[in-house]
């Protein structure tokens, strides 16, 4: 194998599993260390730079970082990354003076943002400090998009939303509330805007067209619309017996909301078995804690009506088996009627663009979705960009944020007459953390503590009002333990082959057998003959240059390294060092240090 090129940010970035897994590349270990030091404000601001909504995401994020967490591979429970983010948001001091401020002199460019959800807000967040004037068109009377109307207040209090959204809007974003855009054509015809960003989400709940749907309509609700109506107080109650069809995260919000406005016997009904549930494990757990019953392998066949009103639903009881192509096919075993007063359909969301004319240069694909470039977020019409759920269908907030960042880069480049395809590059800093003979600037000890369990408001108390936030957040002791569970994966083992005397000290001391000095070979063959076989091929092998004494190579399997720093402590020649990797993320108008340095060197030569 060729020596690993560690000068590319990708290599060390991938070692930081959580940061690699996060669409917005939040520097998780660094913000956790700041929390550990009690520097909540700094931790919050570091979060805000990449994910913009730390308080919101600290409660609602889909947490792609947590399944990626190295701790899952070393033991089984990831670090509670998401809820630590909330700790930073809850305990931070005033950040007003730390927020980006827009220049008084504008750059003369105007941007229209359609929809006031996380994607549009992120675009405004990135562009306002550069002197752009952003106007948001929102069809409802409040900002936040689905973050506000679809996530119930018992999961995400309105104050948290308001505070973080206002940080952006207070930069001088003009918001036109109750202002749906019915025609993109007419907006473009106004000629007031240099670029348009579409962040309208996936606002249409999927239908279930089975017999009885029309007749029972009064008591059959579309999940996201129903949640929105509850939010706006248009709906204040629901029947005692409620069925939720679908088992995604919207279904979880629907069942738990039902429980708070009159639902007593609330059941979530799934077509498949538990391993196939779309809802996050923790949301399922929270719903079941509230005594929501979950029915597996129930395939809806019809709505049952008596005297014109809904009294139940009939299901086929099915069994799933994989066919020869590995696809699951169902076999009907029986059928069953489950009585109910109301049904909420939470079986997915669709996009809808009836307001975009098909003849204005924006191509649509076969699924009636605008064709959007995966890199630039631009449609086939120059100057019209799409991001968030509106781009490729429902994702989650953190993806919308990243879309917003990328679209902002494109919009900035577009307005400045630069190429959209030449994206600013990621950069990196790598700085030794050695403080002394056996001391590092980070807590290198492995802490075997178990993941902290979130404290909840007790069941009686939480049902008293829709707004009672269920999760209490971590207390000081839980936080103190949880931060130490982080393995500091951004503190990289950095190797310098010319210094190595092949004494084996690092290999002998490594608690998880990561290291091997061996003859070079092919990856496949080497993975088999390392100190411990490197079976997880998702994780890279670090390959050093040839070692000076024997021309063998140092190989490190990144899979299970706990970044304890022992290899570097036991290295007599400092060939191993623990160095902090800082991923430099480019944002609109803010290229990374590496790029500025390159630009400077080009100018001087």
Partner 1 sequence: MAQTGKPSVRHPSLKVNKLGLTQRDYEGSMSTLCAGCGHDSITASLVQAFFELEIEPHKVAKLSGIGCSSKTPAYFLKEAHGFNSVHGRMPSIATGANAANRGMTYIGVSGDGDSLSIGLGQLCHAIRRNVDMLYIIENNGVYGLTKGQFSASADVGTKAKKGEENRMGPIDPVALALSLGASFVGKGFSGDKQQLVPLIKAGLSHKGFALLDVISPCVTFNDHQGSTKSYQYTRDHVQEVVETDFVPVLHEITAEQASGDVTSVAMHDGSVVKFRPVAEGYDPTDRDGAYSHIATRQAAGEVATGLLYIEKGSQDVHSFENTVEESLVDLDFEELCPGNQILQELQKQWR
What is the DSSP secondary structure assignment for residue 103, as one 8-state letter?
A: -
Region binding partner 1 by CB under 8 A among candidate stretches 98-106, 151-159, 455-463, 568-576: 568-576
The answer to whether 211 and 399 are in contact (CB under 8 A) is no
Sole binder of partner 1 in the list 265, 286, 342, 569 (CB under 8 A)? 569
Nearest to 337 by CA among 395, 381, 298, 390: 298
Shortest separation between residue 446's beta carbon and partner 1, angstroms: 3
29 binds partner 1 (CB under 8 A): no
Interatomic CA distance for residues 163 and 91, integer angstroms: 14
Non-local (6+) Cβ contacts of 287 within 8 A are: 252, 255, 256, 268, 279, 294
Q: How far apart are CA 102 and CA 342, in angstroms?
A: 49
Question: Cβ contacts of residue 147 below 8 Å, gap of 6+?
Answer: 53, 56, 60, 117, 118, 156, 161, 397
3-state secondary structure at position 422:
coil
Q: State which of positions 465-504 bind partner 1 (CB under 8 A).
A: 501-504
Q: Scan residues 442-461 and list those touching partner 1 (CB under 8 A).
A: 444-446, 448
Decide whether 355 or 446 has the Cβ nearer to partner 1.
Answer: 446
Token pair, residue 182, equals 């019915």
Sequence-distant (≥ 6) Cβ neighbours of residue 395 within 8 angstroms: 388, 389
> Which of residues 174 and 550 has its CB atom nearest to partner 1 in the complex?
550
- What are φ and ψ of residue 169, in 5° steps? -65, -30
Q: What is the residue-wise DSSP string for 186-206?
A: HHHHT---SEEEE-----EEP
Q: Identify which of residues 74 and 317 has a Cβ nearer to partner 1 in the complex.
A: 74
Comparison of 293 and 504: residue with beta carbon closer to partner 1: 504
Q: Which range of residues in 36-44, 242-250, 559-567, 597-605 is near partner 1 by CB under 8 A? A: 559-567
Q: Does 392 bind partner 1 (CB under 8 A)?
A: no
**Residue 295 CA neighbour count, 13 Å, CB half:** 24
Q: Which two tokens stand for residue 452?
A: 């902290």
Cα torsion angle, 103, 104, 105, 109, sign: positive
Token digits for 250?
């919207």
Per CB under 8 A, does 562 bind partner 1?
yes
Considering the complex, what minimum distance in angstroms separates the CB of residue 402 from partner 1? 32
Query: Counting contacts by CB under 8 A, is residue 377 touching partner 1?
Result: no
Name the residue with tokens 């889909």.
Answer: 62
Select 298 or 485, whichever has its Cβ closest to partner 1. Answer: 485
> What is the separation, in whole angstroms, between the first and last Cα of the chain?
35
CB nearer to partner 1: give 60 or 516: 516
Residue 241, token pair as written in the block: 């017996």
Distance, in Å, from the CA atom of 560 to the CA atom of 527, rounded to the nearest integer, reads 14
What is the pattern of x (binds partner 1, CB under 8 A) and - over residues 62-91?
Answer: -----------xxx----------------
User: Which of residues 512, 521, 591, 595 is near partner 1 by CB under 8 A?
Assistant: 512
Q: Which stretch binds partner 1 (CB under 8 A): 250-258, 347-355, 519-527, 558-566?
A: 558-566
Per CB under 8 A, the segment of 6-14, 300-308, 438-446, 519-527 that binds partner 1 is 438-446
Compare residues 413 and 492 and give the one whose CB is closer to partner 1.
492
How would DSSP label each residue in 470-527? SB----HHHHHHHHHH---TTEEEEE-GGG-----HHHHH-TT--EEEE----HHHHH
Name which of 444 and 544 has its Cβ closer to partner 1. Answer: 444
Nearer to partner 1, 121 or 547 (CB): 547
- Rounded CA-CA distance 270/288 in Å is 14
The helix (run of H) or strand (run of E) holding residue 84 is helix 81-91
Looking at the Cβ atoms of 188 and 547, the one nearer to partner 1 is: 547
C-beta neighbour count of 416 within 10 angstroms: 12
Query: Among 98, 430, 466, 507, which residue sits at the site for partner 1 (rule: CB under 8 A)?
Result: 507
Query: Which of 502, 598 has the CB closer to partner 1?
Result: 502
Interface with partner 1, residue 37, by CB under 8 A: no
User: Could you identify the residue written with the tokens 């290291």?
Assistant: 515
Q: Which of 571, 579, 583, 585 binds partner 1 (CB under 8 A)?
A: 571
Query: Residue 527 Cβ, how far from partner 1 at the closest point, in Å?
Result: 13
463 within 8 A of 91, measured Cβ to Cβ: no
Question: Of residues 233-262, which lie at the interface with partner 1 (CB under 8 A)?
Answer: none
Contact 160, 89 (CB under 8 A): yes
Smallest gap from residue 485 Cβ to partner 1 (A): 11
Q: Cα–Cα distance between 597 and 199 in angstroms, integer?
A: 34
Q: With contacts defined by CB under 8 A, name the span among 230-238, 360-368, 560-568, 587-595 that binds partner 1.
A: 560-568
Query: Quick check: 565 binds partner 1 (CB under 8 A)?
Result: yes
Q: In the complex with partner 1, which residue's Cβ is closer, 430 or 532?
A: 532
Pairing state between β 515-518 and 541-546:
unpaired
Closer Cβ to partner 1, 380 or 449, answer by number: 449
The conformation of residue 100, written as its DSSP 8-state character, comes to -
Could you tell me if 318 and 337 are in contact, meaning their C-beta atoms sit under 8 angstroms apart? no
Using CB under 8 A, pick the residue from 101, 309, 416, 573 that binds partner 1.
573
| Cβ 432 to partner 1 shortest distance, Å | 16
Judged by CB under 8 A, does residue 564 bind partner 1?
yes
Q: How far is the CB of 474 from partner 1 (least distance, A)?
A: 23
Size of the site for partner 1 (CB under 8 A): 36
Nearer Cβ to partner 1 (457/509): 509
- Least Cβ distance, residue 582 to partner 1 (angstroms): 23
* 440 touches partner 1 by CB under 8 A: yes
Annotate each residue in 518-557 with x if it binds partner 1 (CB under 8 A) or - if it does not, as one string: --------------xx-x-------------xx-------
Interacting residue ranges for partner 1, rule: CB under 8 A: 73-75, 438-440, 444-446, 448, 501-505, 507-509, 511-513, 532-533, 535, 549-550, 560, 562, 564-566, 569-573
């Amino acid at each position: 194998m060729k020596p690993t090129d560690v000068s590319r940010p990708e290599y060390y970035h991938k070692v930081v599993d959580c940061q690699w897994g996060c669409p917005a590349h939040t520097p998780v270990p660094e913000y956790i260390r700041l929390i550990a030091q009690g520097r909540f404000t700094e931790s919050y601001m570091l979060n805000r730079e990449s994910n913009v909504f730390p308080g919101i995401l600290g409660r609602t994020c889909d947490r792609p970082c947590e399944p990626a967490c190295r701790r899952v591979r070393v033991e089984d429970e990831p670090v509670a990354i998401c809820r630590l983010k909330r700790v930073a948001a809850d305990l931070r001091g005033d950040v007003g003076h730390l927020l980006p401020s827009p220049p008084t002199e504008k750059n003369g460019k105007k941007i229209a943002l359609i929809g006031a959800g996380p994607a549009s807000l992120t675009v405004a967040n990135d562009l306002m400090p550069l002197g752009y004037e952003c106007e948001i068109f929102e069809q409802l009377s409040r900002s936040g998009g689905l973050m506000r109307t679809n996530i119930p207040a018992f999961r995400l209090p309105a104050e948290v939303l308001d505070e973080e959204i206002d940080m952006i809007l207070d930069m001088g974003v003009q918001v036109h509330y109750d202002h749906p855009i019915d025609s993109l054509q007419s907006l473009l015809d106004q000629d007031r805007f240099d670029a348009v960003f579409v962040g309208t989400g996936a606002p249409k709940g999927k239908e279930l067209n089975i017999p009885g749907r029309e007749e029972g309509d009064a008591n059959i609700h579309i999940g996201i619309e129903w949640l929105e109506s509850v939010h706006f107080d248009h709906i204040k109650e629901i029947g005692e017996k409620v069925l939720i069809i679908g088992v995604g995260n919207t279904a979880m919000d629907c069942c738990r909301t039902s429980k708070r406005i009159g639902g007593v016997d609330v059941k979530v009904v799934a077509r498949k078995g538990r391993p196939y549930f779309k809802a996050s494990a923790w949301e399922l757990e929270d719903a079941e804690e509230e005594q929501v019953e979950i029915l597996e392998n129930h395939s809806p066949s019809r709505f049952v009506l008596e005297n014109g009103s809904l009294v139940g639903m009939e299901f086929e009881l099915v069994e799933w088996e994989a066919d020869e192509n590995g696809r699951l096919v169902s076999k009907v075993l029986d059928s069953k009627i489950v009585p109910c007063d109301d049904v909420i359909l939470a079986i997915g969301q669709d996009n809808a663009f009836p307001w975009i004319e098909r003849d204005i240069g924006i191509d649509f694909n076969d699924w009636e979705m605008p064709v959007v470039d995966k890199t630039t977020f631009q449609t086939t019409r120059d100057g019209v960009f799409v991001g968030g759920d509106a781009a490729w269908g429902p994702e989650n907030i953190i993806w919308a944020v990243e879309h917003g960042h990328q679209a902002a880069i494109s919009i900035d480049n577009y307005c400045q007459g630069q190429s959209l395809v030449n994206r600013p590059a990621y950069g990196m800093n790598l700085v030794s953390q050695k403080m002394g003979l056996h001391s590092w600037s980070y807590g290198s000890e492995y802490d075997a503590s178990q993941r902290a369990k979130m404290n909840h408001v007790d069941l009686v108390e939480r049902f008293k009002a829709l707004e009672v936030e269920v999760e209490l957040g971590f207390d000081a002791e839980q936080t103190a333990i949880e931060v130490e569970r982080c393995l500091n994966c951004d503190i990289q083992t950095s190797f310098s082959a010319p210094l190595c005397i092949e004494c084996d000290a690092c290999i002998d001391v490594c608690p998880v057998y990561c290291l091997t000095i061996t003859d070079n070979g092919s990856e496949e063959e080497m993975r088999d003959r390392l100190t411990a076989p490197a079976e997880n091929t998702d994780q890279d092998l670090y390959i050093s240059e040839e070692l000076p004494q024997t021309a063998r190579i140092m190989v490190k399997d990144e899979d299970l390294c706990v970044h304890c720093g022992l290899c570097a402590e036991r290295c007599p020649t400092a060939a191993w060092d623990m160095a902090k990797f800082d991923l430099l993320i480019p944002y609109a108008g803010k290229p990374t240090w590496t790029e500025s340095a390159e630009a400077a060197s080009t100018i001087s030569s």
